């Protein structure tokens, strides 16, 4: 019995101690949010924004270690890969490539992360949601005049795909 009691005391002490390991859970300012039709934006916000924007709604379990570490790591890594709040800082090529990548991840069912959907069932994408994302991601980007001499040029995500294939 003494051993069990000591083990429990140690576990409780460790649990308390790890609460002091800092987890960086900030929401940096939104500097250049993506612009898209409201219908698409609603889906992306509901399903992706917690990890891919600066408008994360940190859940209560993000305040308790060790889950807090996992949540924080996913958000920081997610933002690093793709941040809808800083989308305007990506050049057009990156935006086009990312649109393609977004559909790829959604189509394969890799995003949103399963572990997240487990805690946020509302983030699950219906077939209609996926169609909405697909349609958006397959719409060519208009290259702004400042980015190219040829102002009328469209950057077609599929064209980009073909370019990638050629280089292989």
Q: What is the largest CA-CA distance in the chain?
A: 80
Whether the CB-CB separation of 51 and 116 falls below 8 Å is answered with yes
* CA distance to 41, 50, 66, 71, per residue, from 22 (Å): 32, 20, 11, 13
Residues 96, 112, 132, 155: which binds ligand HEC (CB under 6 A)?
A: 112
Give the shortest CB-111-to-ligand HEC separation in angstroms. Answer: 3
Cα of 131 vs its chain's centroid, Å: 19
Question: Residue 34 interacts with ligand HEC (CB under 6 A)?
Answer: no
* CA distance linking residue 86 with residue 73, whole number of Å: 19
Give the shortest CB-103-to-ligand HEC separation in angstroms. Answer: 8
Residues 105, 147, 156, 161: which binds ligand HEC (CB under 6 A)?
A: 105
Question: Residue 48 interacts with ligand HEC (CB under 6 A)?
Answer: yes
* CA distance linking residue 154 with residue 151, whole number of Å: 8
Question: Residue 77 interacts with ligand HEC (CB under 6 A)?
Answer: yes
CA 54-59-61 angle, to 5 degrees, is 130
Whether the CB-CB separation of 67 and 118 falls below 8 Å is answered with no
Give the shortest CB-127-to-ligand HEC separation in angstroms. Answer: 14
Residue 100: count other Cβ atoms within 10 Å of its Cβ. 17
Give the shortest CB-119-to-ligand HEC separation in angstroms. Answer: 9
Identify residues 118-157 at the interface with ligand HEC (CB under 6 A): none
Question: Residue 47 interacts with ligand HEC (CB under 6 A)?
Answer: yes
Question: Residue 86 interacts with ligand HEC (CB under 6 A)?
Answer: no
Residues that bind ligand HEC (CB under 6 A): 47-48, 50-52, 74, 77-78, 81-82, 101-102, 105-106, 111-113, 116
């Amino acid at each position: 019995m003494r051993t069990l009691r000591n083990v429990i005391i140690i576990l409780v002490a460790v649990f308390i101690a790890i609460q002091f390991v800092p987890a960086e859970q900030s929401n940096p300012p939104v500097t250049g949010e993506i612009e898209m039709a409201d219908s698409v934006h609603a889906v992306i916000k509901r399903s992706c924004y917690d990890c891919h924007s600066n408008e994360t709604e940190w859940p209560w379990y993000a305040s308790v270690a060790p889950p807090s570490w996992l949540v924080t790591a996913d958000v920081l890594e997610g933002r690093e890969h793709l941040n809808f709040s800083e989308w305007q800082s990506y050049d057009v090529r990156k935006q086009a490539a990312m649109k393609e990548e977004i559909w790829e991840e959604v189509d394969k069912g890799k995003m949103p992360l399963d572990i997240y959907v487990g805690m946020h069932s509302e983030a699950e994408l219906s077939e209609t949601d996926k169609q909405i994302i697909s349609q958006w991601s397959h719409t060519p980007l208009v290259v702004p005049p400042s980015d190219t001499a040829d102002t009328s040029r469209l950057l077609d995500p599929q064209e980009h795909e073909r370019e990638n294939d050629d280089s292989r």
